[in-house]
Amino acid sequence: MSLVLGIDTATDVRAGLARDGVVVASGEIADRRAHAEQLLPLVRRVLAEAGAKPAELTGVAVGVGPGPFTGLRVGVAAAVTMAEALGIPVRGVCSLDVVALEWAARPEAPSGEFAVVSDARRKEVYWARYAVDGARIAGPFVTAPDAVPDLPLAGPGAELTGRACSGPAAVDAGLLAAAEDRLSDAGLVPLYLRRPDAEVPTTRKSTLLQPRVAMMGKK
């Protein structure tokens, strides 16, 4: 039996749980400025909702963006540390791919190519282009909103282009957990796509998070 945890911090804080490929719990916190404080309590809440314990997890899937530098680091660091503490595999996927997979499976899916867009701030957007089956064929990119192709749009930044969002407007962390083996492996390096505004002390940030995650693995 598999029990996979999905984590995405590319925009909001999201976590989901899938047992044998079926979503059993998911949650989100609409706060883009407190990822480090909100993620682990949300993971505990999702596990409790499913009646599961951290020790029962068989894998972790984490969205690696694209997204803001600090938020992505929190999600990836938590996923890697938790997986190491529990001795289970961890896999990174492009967050936009999760949105594309969900839309391609819907009855109202586009009949041709489409794009998934998210907010890159600084009056820019992240986006990628997808085939009708949800396979990524170009991107991800970071550009001005008016550079996004004239295609059906989904994702949390679609409306920044001045056009309507026709598909899912956010990453479904439950689907991320359930379909992690159907999503392309993106590695575990956050897809920031541009240099961070300032150098972030790597050891201080990660060591604050690691003891808290490691404690979860012992419960």
The CATH number of whichever domain residue 16 belongs to comes to 3.30.420.40
**CB atoms closer than 10 angstroms to residue 210:** 17
Residues 149 and 43 in one domain: no
CA dist., res. 116 & res. 104, Å (int): 11
Structure tokens at 197: 């505004």
Residues 123 and 148 in one domain: yes
15, 6 contact by CB (below 8 A): yes
Residues 33 and 78 in one domain: yes
CA dist., res. 68 & res. 120, Å (int): 7
Residues 147 and 178 in one domain: no
Residues 45 and 150 in one domain: no
136, 100 contact by CB (below 8 A): yes
Per cent of the chain over pLDDT 90 is: 82
In the chain, what is the greatest distance between 2 CA atoms, to the nearest angstrom? 50
CA dist., res. 75 & res. 62, Å (int): 7
Residues 49 and 139 in one domain: no
Give the domain range for residue 67. 3-95+172-216
Residues 146 and 49 in one domain: no
Write out pLDDT tens, residues 144-201. 999 999 999 999 999 999 999 999 999 999 999 999 999 999 999 999 997 554 444 4
The model's pTM: 0.88
Residues 76 and 46 in one domain: yes
- pLDDT-derived band at 208, boundaries 50, 70, 90: very low
Helix (H) or strand (E) holding 211: helix 202-216
- pLDDT-derived band at 2, boundaries 50, 70, 90: very high
- pLDDT-derived band at 216, boundaries 50, 70, 90: low
